[in-house]
Structure 1
Amino acid sequence: MTFPERYALRGDLLDFTADPGFAAPTGAQGVRYRPDHWLLVEGGRIAGVQADAPDASWAQVDHRGSLVMPGFIDTHVHSPQLDVIASYGTELLEWLNTYTFPAERRYADPEVAAAGAERFLDSLLAHGTTSAVVFPTVHKVSAEALFAGAEQRGMRLIAGKILMDRHAPDGLRDDVEQAERDCVDLVQRWHCRGRLAYALTVRFAPTSTSEQMHMAAALMKAYPGTYMQTHVAESRDEVRWVAELFPQSRSYLDVYHRHGLLNERAVLAHGIWLDDTDRVLLRETGAQIAHSPSSNLFLGSGLFDWLGAEGQGAHVTLATDVGGGTSLSMIRTLADAYKVQAMRGVKLTAYKALYGATRGAAQALHLADEIGSFDTGCHADVAVWDWTSTPLMQHRIGLAQDLHEKLFAWMTLGDERLLQAAYVAGTPRFRRA
């Protein structure tokens, strides 16, 4: 079925114009809620919002009574790790050796890589996530499959083949020269092609030599607009290992800084075990932390200090980190983020959480003119949600006294089963059966 190029989508529209911060819900700024409004979409982009029904030149898509938001943006997720999601009983380093590395080795096979990319991208859309920053595997073919699948679906995707030239098993190590050739070829073919962007992907400091990290930094400078993604300070054992491997560096984060890898397009997952000096460095370089609460809880890594990071001026976004995380659902991830912050004595509002997974992520990625809101001109990446999915949810949300209470109950009790439809650049890419 051909979908109209020009249509109006009706529903309860929610997006953000600014960061609500950690203020109490009653004092939050930047929340833009327009119940029972029409979202105008033309040529795959947002053309406007209005309260009255549009004229007959607009096809009507009626989702009245539903919550309509920008598609979620997942700033750190591993496409091959759907194969090991929900695996028992390990912490980070053991997790990698026991589950992750064996699963990723299979992606050297082009058929496995292609099937895995299809499964992963369709799963993202089925969870209301329309944009993502993704780790494939060390194999060039896995990155190619991911880019090709995202292009076919019109998705905004940032990814790049993983760099690992040491401390990894056979079949998962590259070398500096071959990795550079692979990266250059991938950048030249995929970076800035449609809605795709390339990320130099250093898995984490222990699995890359200094030579390889310097190579990645040189490519970032050579190809404007490329990103860098990696992990930092996820677990205490990992931090101790990095200190042994790089004794000349002040901290784990400083390892990346010394190799020229920190800038405003650097996305660092986790950042649990950072100090104030590290957080100042994040502010000075513009790098962001992709907070992965579900993964941090599941692997027992620690409790991220979100308030402390932002207090020093660092950017913080939200991520599922599947397969350490236990779901691709950003709703579940946000609910876990609330629990992590509660353990630190901080109350995370639904406004702040939802902002971090939409406009906040878009701004940190320098993509706010394209994704994350219903601003005119943005791509129409839209997720349509039921407000309730069970009698209990219906009862609880029906008792809500204001918008925040309603959204917080929705975020806490809901999951991907609330999703009715997901649109990417105006085209429906998921519809619930």
Structure 2
Amino acid sequence: MPVRLADKAVCIGPARSNMSYRNQQAVLGAALSFGADAIHPGYGFLAENAEFAAACEKEGIIFIGPSSKVIHQMGDKIEAKKIAKKAGVPTVPGSDGAITEFAEALKVAKDVGFPLLIKAAAGGGGRGMRVVRQMESLESDLSEIMSEAETAFGDSSVYIERYLTNIRHIEIQVMCDGETFLHMGERDCTTQRRNQKLIEEGPSPVLDDRLRQELAAAAVNLCREVKYTNAGTIEFVFDLDERKFYFIEMNTRIQVEHPVSEMITGLDLIKMQLEVASGIPLAIRQDDIRISGHAIECRINAEDPEQNFMPCPGTVKRFHMPGGLGIRMDTHIEAGYVIPPFYDSMVGKLICWGQTREEARARMIAALDELDLGAITTTAPFHKEILQNEQFVSGVFNTSFVATLLGK
């Protein structure tokens, strides 16, 4: 549908992403042949690829996002952690730099204690991580995750942090033009399965005003430190036991869950991205931004929760999209669309706003009931199960909530 609605469209290669959407020369070639002056990288593929951003800069094409230098800095989790510390942002206790051998890992383990989390420096999206719970497995786990990081990301660098268990995952949406640095409040992404976000909401139900202000200030300070431009997200873990937050990473792009921030602020983040990339200074200041009500987003995937979330590609023979006050669905789906097996299984994002969290939750349940993709199996019933769970309703849960619900 997006291709059909576009003014112009060009084929950049076969369906497999390494031959098309990840093929830098194919994308750049298409942009140059059509005389495009800018490229919006979307959520994934080349969105946080510093090499691609640099190639755009070299060709005189605007990359709608931060500079290649900043993408490189913040994409390296070790370097990002150093920058965060310099900006006065709290970081999880762990190694100060890259771990290259067992002796270094052993020292960190003795200083920090178990459990530990080994993370690939170039990882992201919940990949390239492993929990180590005892000294006996440290050496083998370190070797395996370094090998996996080299294979998956082309970089074997890892770092080690204390593994915090009773945590929430909270992130701050930012928009900057290099001179003005704004935040749009927080999104709580604690409802996850295998480190992959399922449901996002904002504001977070566990923060008080003081913590909310401190979290936002930390995010803005980090942006100032690197003179950040365009949209981004600063991700934190929030330790429920100690009521402390720690920086974990920065996403140097717009995110799948950005509509949550749009719904509670009334701001069009994609429009702001385009304006900043065009050299137009931000027209608003922090005092102009007001957080109103509550928003919840469910990622609707073509997966079968009863079959260990197995992907379910196929033809959408019937499609009905929910509607009504406070309900929004972002999707490329339409009746007759064939869900391909080559990409992420997400087929849409369902977002509901309400004056209160409870109103947003109730609207989401009604919207999930209304959503119809014919015979295609989706995660919508599972989202409904989560939303009706007593723990979710209370707002008091941590990142292990879904795993516990699934009995895993």
TM norm structure 1: 0.27
Does 1 or 2 have the higher relative contact order (CA < 8 Å, sep 6+)?
Answer: 1
TM norm structure 2: 0.28
